[in-house]
């Protein structure tokens, strides 16, 4: 499956207007792109009046193009003293332009300074959803790259306004087909508005068919008329309503201060929440997240399955967070040194030929992942791998503990949020009463808040009493080395295990995967030294100077749990009917959430799980499509159980 997207070379007509040769059309009116954006799309949606003093406002656009409508909305937000606290702009684009073309557009218009910021954050051409933040997270661009017909039905968004701005219907009819309009209507919040430059009869009819009341208004420039519409369907509620903004108290408790908990607390605080973060240990990252350093890189698959889609989204989001939180009290949180994934023996599924085939099918941009031969890999890594493999140039080495501390100490973005950390708090019991969750520690201390997020790894399912969200421990041991061991290593190496350079502390080699029996320290060291020897042509493995041992928290299908916890008793009591439900329709325990089960991918997936949960709590656009989000929904095991005819029993072997 192709994951990479070929960027659209930007061309200009004889008058200097940007044009698309693919569609034979200009990107915006020759009478002025910024002026058109303000007249048609902002004016057609009665903005900025409609967003005044709101906590959030969500705009959905079809056809991002050169980003002019986004930039005009952003500029209007900056200039409006009554602006919403958080502006979300969601758009899709099948043929994105290149960052250098975006940055190189003429500087004459008033949007140039904002365009330069956008170009500096322009995503790699990878299919899927990209989340880009500006203004300390108060302006959020969620950009889906790919076919709108595939992306829009899978986006979870509650929209207040729509900008329909694809190329002209006669040039690009796919962008105006009824299925696209239907997908937008499913996102529309009550009284959502819509505007577009075209007044083509087919477009007006499709809008009316999906519940929009359509009006004609004076157009812009050479266009005599344009369409402005309001969502006012004459039928009952939809099967699944779009997310609504959170309108309650912004106070939450997060249990667990490892990567999952720190990321969740950070995501909520940046949205103005007061978060009490409770940790059983004496410090943050006191469990498996205390690993001195780990590798950050995406996991690829030939078919770009749900796991690899999650990995891509998580990796890209983690990179953006790390760039914003580069240091912890002066110590670097991470090193952008790159990661080399070495091909294994040919009988293995990750042999050199398999990796080469994967890259050829995926058509990935080389800045994201590219094939390198052993000689080139040695130049990149500093030491000589035995085989060729994939070079992730944007990967690196991360200190999980420093990252946790940086997230808890970071500026929450001026939204008024804060994080209160309490260590040595062993939570034994949770209960809901009077619209709030009360958590009680072993020493009898208790706290209450309307929202509770369990991010305490193996303890999450136990505290929640969630029988159908099974988690288990898989122990691992990492061998630590003092200089001069691996002194020449400049980048991370992974494959059968991993090698980590000493840039953030000690060099490390790992890790054992003790699923059925525990290894002694000496045996774990022998395994890790064998991994070293198998990865490099030299030098010979040194003797370890120390060990880090921890337990990975793993779900039954090895994917995380990130979302609201199911009301298992209610579902099981009506199992026959619920078997035909979608995950979005299963009853949940109000205010109870989890981010857990990150396994060996905490560095890659913690931010995504936290951002997804925070977005869902706030009623914001999700940072990933519904399909991958459903793949990590904590209720997925329960739904599988009842679909197989299960009633009240516990799933065999925790498989759900």
3-state secondary structure of 334: strand
Q: Tell which residue, 494, 188, 105, has the closest CA to residue 338.
A: 494
Neighbour order of strands in the sheet with 546-555: 370-372, 389-392, 339-342, 492-495, 497-500, 507-510, 471-481, 546-555
The answer on pLDDT for 109 being more than 90 is no
> How far is residue 111's CA from residue 151's CA, in Å, rounded to a whole number?
28
The answer on pLDDT for 347 being more than 50 is no
CB neighbours of 54 closer than 8 A, spacing ≥ 6?
84, 85, 245
Res 328: pLDDT: 62
Give the percent of the chain with pLDDT over 70.
Answer: 95
The answer on pLDDT for 424 being more than 60 is yes
Contact 341, 495 (CB under 8 A): yes
Could you tell me which residues are beta bridge partners of residue 453? 254, 593
Tell me which of 194-208, 219-233, 346-360 is least confident: 346-360
3-state secondary structure of 135: helix
Instruction: Give CA torsion, residues 635, 637, 642, 646, to 10 deg.
Output: -140
Res 654: pLDDT: 45
> How far is residue 71's CA from residue 68's CA, in Å, rounded to a whole number?
5
> How far is residue 544's CA from residue 113's CA, in Å, rounded to a whole number?
53
Strands 507-510 and 25-26: unpaired
Tell me which of 228-242, 347-361, 365-379, 640-654 is least confident: 640-654
How confident is the prediction for the chain on average, in pLDDT? 92
Helix (H) or strand (E) run with residue 358 in it: helix 352-362
CA distances from 171 to 7, 27, 128, 346 (A): 19, 12, 25, 49
Name the pLDDT band for 327 (thresholds 50, 70, 90): low
Helix (H) or strand (E) run with residue 33 in it: helix 33-36
Name the pLDDT band for 345 (thresholds 50, 70, 90): low
CB neighbours of 232 closer than 8 A, spacing ≥ 6?
191, 211, 212, 213
The answer on pLDDT for 651 being more than 60 is no
* Residue 36 vs residue 222, higher pLDDT: 36
Instruction: Find tokens 């007061």 and name the residue.
Output: 274
Q: What is the pTM of this model?
A: 0.95
Res 350: pLDDT: 56
Name the pLDDT band for 648 (thresholds 50, 70, 90): low
Across residues 142-161, what is the average pLDDT? 98
Across residues 37-41, what is the average pLDDT? 97
Angle at 139 between CA 612 and CA 107, to 5 degrees: 135
> How far is residue 253's CA from residue 268's CA, in Å, rounded to a whole number?
10
Peptide bond between residue 48 and the one before it cis (omega within 30 degrees of 0): yes
Res 440: pLDDT: 98
CB atoms within 10 A of CB 443: 10
Q: Tell which residue, 425, 426, 451, 427, has the closest CA to residue 437.
A: 451
> How far is residue 485's CA from residue 528's CA, in Å, rounded to a whole number?
14
List of domains in the chain:
11-231 (3.40.50.150), 251-285+402-470+556-654 (3.50.50.60)
Res 20: pLDDT: 82
Across residues 120-134, what is the average pLDDT? 97
Res 647: pLDDT: 58
Across residues 343-369, what is the average pLDDT? 78
Res 607: pLDDT: 98
Res 652: pLDDT: 44
* Residue 351 vs residue 131, higher pLDDT: 131
Tell me which of 14-23, 74-83, 454-463 is least confident: 14-23
Q: Tell which residue, 282, 287, 297, has the closest CA to residue 261.
A: 287
pLDDT digit string, tens, across residues 584-603: 999 999 999 999 999 999 99
Please name the residue ranges forming H helices in 410-513: 459-464
Res 502: pLDDT: 93
Across residues 613-629, what is the average pLDDT? 98
> How far is residue 459's CA from residue 428's CA, in Å, rounded to a whole number?
9
Res 655: pLDDT: 46
Across residues 306-326, what is the average pLDDT? 94
CB neighbours of 171 closer than 8 A, spacing ≥ 6?
23, 24, 25
The answer on pLDDT for 283 being more than 50 is yes
Tell me which of 282-286, 536-540, 559-563 is least confident: 536-540
Concatenate the DSSP letters of all residues of 540-562 into one string: PPPPPSEEEEEEEEEETTS--EE
pLDDT digit string, tens, across residues 178-189: 999 999 999 999
């Amino acid at each position: 499956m192709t994951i990479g997207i070929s960027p659209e070379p930007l061309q200009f007509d004889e008058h200097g207007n940007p044009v698309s040769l693919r569609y034979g059309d200009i990107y915006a009116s020759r009478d002025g792109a910024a002026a058109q954006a303000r007249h048609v799309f902002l004016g057609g949606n009665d903005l900025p009046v409609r967003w005044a003093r709101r906590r959030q406002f969500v705009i959905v656009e079809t056809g991002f193009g050169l980003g002019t409508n986004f930039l005009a909305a952003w500029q209007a937000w900056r200039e409006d003293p009554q602006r919403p606290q958080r502006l979300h702009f969601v758009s899709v684009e099948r043929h994105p332009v290149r960052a250098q073309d975006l940055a190189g557009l003429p500087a004459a218009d008033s949007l140039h300074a904002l365009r330069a910021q956008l170009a500096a954050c322009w995503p790699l051409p990878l299919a899927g959803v990209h989340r880009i933040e500006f203004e300390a997270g108060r302006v959020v661009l969620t950009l889906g790259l790919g076919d709108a017909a595939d992306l829009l039905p899978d986006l979870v968004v509650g929209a207040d306004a729509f900008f329909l701005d694809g190329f002209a219907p006669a040039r690009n009819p796919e962008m105006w087909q009824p299925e696209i309009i239907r997908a937008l209507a499913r996102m529309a919040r009550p009284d959502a508005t819509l505007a577009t430059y075209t007044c083509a009869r087919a477009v007006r009819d499709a809008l009316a068919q999906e519940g929009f009341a359509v009006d004609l208004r004076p157009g812009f420039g050479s266009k005599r008329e344009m369409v402005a519409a309001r969502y006012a369907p004459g039928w009952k509620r939809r099967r699944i309503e779009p997310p609504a903004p959170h309108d309650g108290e912004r106070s939450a408790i997060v249990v667990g201060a490892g990567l999952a908990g720190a990321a969740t607390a950070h995501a909520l605080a940046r949205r103005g929440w007061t978060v009490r973060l409770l940790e059983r240990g004496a410090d943050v990252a006191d469990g498996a997240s205390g690993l001195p350093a780990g590798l950050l890189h995406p996991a690829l698959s030939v078919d770009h399955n749900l796991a690899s889609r999650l990995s891509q989204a998580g990796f890209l989001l983690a990179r953006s967070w790390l760039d914003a939180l580069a240091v912890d009290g002066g110590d670097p949180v991470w090193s952008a040194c790159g990661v080399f994934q070495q091909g294994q023996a040919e009988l293995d599924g990750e042999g050199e030929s398999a990796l080469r085939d994967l890259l050829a099918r995926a058509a990935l941009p080389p800045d994201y992942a590219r094939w390198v031969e052993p000689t080139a890999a040695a130049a990149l890594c500093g030491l000589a791998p035995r085989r060729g493999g994939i070079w992730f140039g944007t990967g690196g080495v991360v200190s999980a503990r420093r990252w946790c501390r940086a997230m808890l100490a970071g500026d929450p973005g001026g939204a008024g949020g804060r994080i209160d950390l309490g260590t040595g708090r062993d939570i034994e019991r949770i209960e809901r009463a009077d619209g709030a969750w009360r958590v009680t520690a072993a020493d009898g201390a208790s706290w209450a808040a309307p929202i509770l997020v369990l991010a305490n790894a193996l303890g999450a399912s136990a505290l929640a009493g969630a029988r159908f969200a099974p988690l288990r421990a898989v122990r691992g041991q990492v061998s630590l080395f003092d200089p001069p061991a691996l002194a020449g290593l400049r980048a991370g190496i992974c494959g059968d295990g991993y090698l980590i350079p000493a840039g953030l502390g000690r060099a490390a080699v790992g890790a054992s995967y003790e699923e059925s029996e525990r290894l002694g320290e000496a045996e774990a060291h022998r395994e890790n030294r064998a991994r070293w020897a198998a990865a490099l042509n030299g030098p010979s493995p040194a003797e370890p100077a120390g060990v880090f041992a921890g337990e990975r928290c793993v779900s039954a299908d090895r994917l995380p749990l990130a979302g609201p916890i199911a009301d298992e008793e209610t579902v099981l009591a009506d199992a026959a009917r619920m078997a035909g439900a979608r995950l979005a329709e299963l009853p949940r325990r109000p205010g109870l959430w989890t981010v857990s089960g990150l396994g060996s991918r905490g560095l890659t997936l913690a931010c995504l799980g936290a951002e997804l949960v925070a977005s869902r709590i706030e009623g914001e656009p999700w940072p990933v499509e519904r399909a991958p989000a459903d793949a990590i929904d904590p209720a997925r095991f329960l739904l599988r159980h009842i679909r197989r005819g299960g009633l009240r029993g516990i799933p065999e072997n925790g498989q759900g």
